[in-house]
């Protein structure tokens, strides 16, 4: 914005295009792919976790969102396994 106010419209346009295309591509496409592989999440849930964490928690949510999502999925998997097992007989021997 300062470049445009200073009268350097071309530099402002190039900087805006760079920020939109390159930085936006890295933030919205590449980062969820890398985080998803590291946390063993699909790209879509990791993107939703990053975006949701950013909206709810601000800047720390970029890291905490995927962590909260993966821990929640792990706990749900544990609960699902425990509920699927038949109950042990009381006093079984």
pLDDT of 39: 67
Lowest mean pLDDT among 8-12, 15-19, 38-42, 56-60: 38-42
For residue 31, pLDDT over 80 is answered with no
Residue 43 predicted with pLDDT over 90: no
Quick one: average pLDDT of 35-50? 77
pLDDT of residue 37 exceeding 60, the answer is yes
- Give the CA distances from residue 11 to residues 6, 15, 19, 24, 80, in Å, rounded to whole numbers and listed in that order: 10, 6, 12, 18, 56
Place of tokens 């038949």: 86
Give, as one character, the DSSP assignment of residue 87: P
What is the value of pTM for the model shown? 0.53
Query: What pLDDT digit, counting tens, does each position of 71-85 carry?
Result: 898 899 999 999 988
Domain chopping of the chain, boundaries: 24-81
């Amino acid at each position: 914005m300062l470049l445009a106010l200073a009268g350097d419209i071309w530099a402002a346009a190039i900087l805006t295009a760079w920020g939109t295309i390159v930085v936006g591509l890295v933030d919205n496409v590449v980062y969820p792919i890398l985080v998803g592989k590291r946390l063993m999440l699909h790209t879509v849930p990791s993107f939703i976790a990053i975006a949701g964490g950013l909206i709810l928690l601000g800047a720390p949510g970029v890291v905490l969102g995927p962590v909260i999502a993966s821990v929640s999925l792990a706990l749900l998997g544990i609960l699902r396994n425990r509920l699927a097992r038949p109950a042990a007989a009381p006093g079984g021997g």
